[in-house]
Amino acid sequence: MSGEVTPAWKHLLEVEHLEVRFFTRRGEAQAVRDVSFTIDRGETLGLVGESGSGKSVTSLAVLGLIQLPGKITGGDVRWKGRSLLGQGGERYARSIRGKELAVVFQDPMTSLNPLFPIGTQIGEVLRYHMGMSKSQARTRTLELLDLVGISNPAQRIHQYPHEFSGGMRQRMLIAMALACEPELLIADEPTTALDVTIQAQILELLAELQERLEVAVLLISHDLGVVAQVCHRIAVMYAGKIVESGPAEEVFPRPGHPYTMGLMRSTPRLDLIQARLVGIDGAPPDLVRPPAGCPFHPRCPLAVEECLEEMPPLEAHGGGREVACWRAFTEAVGAEPGAGSTRG
């Protein structure tokens, strides 16, 4: 964690041509296909997409937690330039997981042990990973709970997970994830189960921690608004692929991929009155038998013959933007002009 020597690596996390398959009775589900992205120190990347698009599987692959019937079938994941895959990689992955690389899942109840008081659980992490003594761990636990905005931490450490509300449990998990001063925090739908005022508290907390501790964040969400609020860059997934990525401030006002455009037009906005939403026809494809060519073509209003035959590569469009579409930045005919764009 020192900045004295220039590191031999360029990106904190590099995911390159990642492929994950699930070997099911119905056949091989191609859950993640040729996914590449990077995360730098202190940066927040938002991974958005609808249910089943491969967001969680991507994050599990990064954490080295893919289990049978799933398998990483191709590509590489590198942490500070060193691979986390393969034989040597797995040991390396174990040594950084929960320390340099921490995770917060959607459902706090399944991630906390119901049988132990909250203080014991956080203390355990500190003693195991950071080699702290009992009293050091206790002091640090109190600091951490205070950091995530839990009042009266000295009393709270004796309470059990079920004695807390959903929002407080999510704070506990964040405290636990931060215990070892991670450099990257993976948060998979951290606010999806929460009410909007509690969600606002947690998002504020994440942004604040990020600024203070300079931790990088991979935020997974299906909510475009949540991602717009906290992320520097976004990557949009569809049917196991990243179809568009770029700086949030560029992608939201001017999406380049017809799927991103469709998502924006499907999302009602608090600040705009839309007579009718322009949805996306149809439903996402079966990943056991994904369509040939571009996976979005069966639902795409812009599809031409080329799209049925060949998968468009992610191509650079300047300013750090990438779009995987033969007809990137084309407005659909018949769509309301500017319906998905903002006036911010």
Per this entry, what is the length of the chain? 344
Which range binds Mg ion by CB under 5 A, 18-26, 55-63, 194-202, 321-329? 55-63
Percentages helix, strand, coil for the chain (3-state, rounded to 5) are 35, 20, 45
Query: In whole angstroms, how close is the CB of 257 to ligand ATP at the nearest point?
Result: 17
> Of 46 and 52, which CB lies nearer to ligand ATP in the complex structure?
52
Angle at 86 between CA 131 and CA 92, to 5 degrees: 15
Interface map 256-285 toward another protein (x if CB under 8 A): ------xxxxxxxxxx-xx-xxxxxx-xx-
Q: What is the 3-state secondary structure (H, E, C) of 58-108?
A: HHHHHHCCCCCCEEEEEEEEEECCEECCHHHHHHHHHHHECCCEEEECCCH
| The amino acid at 113 | N
Would you give the DSSP letter of residue 189?
S
Q: Does the footprint of ligand ATP cover residue 52 (CB under 6 A)?
A: yes
Asked if 266 and 260 touch (Cβ cutoff 8 Å), the reply is: no
The region of 55-63, 124-132, 199-207, 256-264 touching ligand ATP under the rule CB under 6 A is 55-63
Separation between Cα atoms, residue 126 and residue 45, nearest integer Å: 27
How many of the chain's residues bind another protein (CB under 8 A)? 49
- Residue choice 9, 24, 139, 306 for contact with ligand ATP (CB under 6 A): 24
Q: Can you tell me the distance from the alpha carbon of 138 to that of 174, in angstroms, rounded to the nearest whole number?
A: 17
* Binding of residue 57 to ligand ATP (CB under 6 A): yes
Stretch that binds Mg ion, among 40-48, 54-62, 163-171, 254-262 (CB under 5 A): 54-62
* 22 contacts ligand ATP (rule: CB under 6 A): yes
Interface positions, 150-189, toward another protein (CB under 8 A): 165, 167-168
Pick the stretch among 18-26, 48-56, 157-165, 277-285 that binds Mg ion (CB under 5 A).
48-56
User: Residue 193 to residues 55, 113, 149, 202, 343: CA-CA distances in angstroms?
Assistant: 17, 19, 19, 12, 30
The C-alpha atoms of residue 227 and residue 218 are separated, in whole angstroms, by 10
Rounded CA-CA distance 100/12 in Å is 10
- Distance in Å, CB of 233 to ligand ATP, minimum: 18
**Alpha carbon distance 141, 125 (integer Å):** 10
Among ligand ATP, Mg ion, another protein, none, partner that 69 touches (CB below 5 to 8 angstroms by kind): ligand ATP
Residues that bind another protein (CB under 8 A): 50-51, 165, 167-168, 195-201, 203-204, 222-229, 231, 248-249, 252-253, 262-271, 273-274, 276-281, 283-284, 342, 344
Residues that bind ligand ATP (CB under 6 A): 22, 24, 29, 31, 49, 51-57, 69-70, 222, 287
Residues that bind Mg ion (CB under 5 A): 56
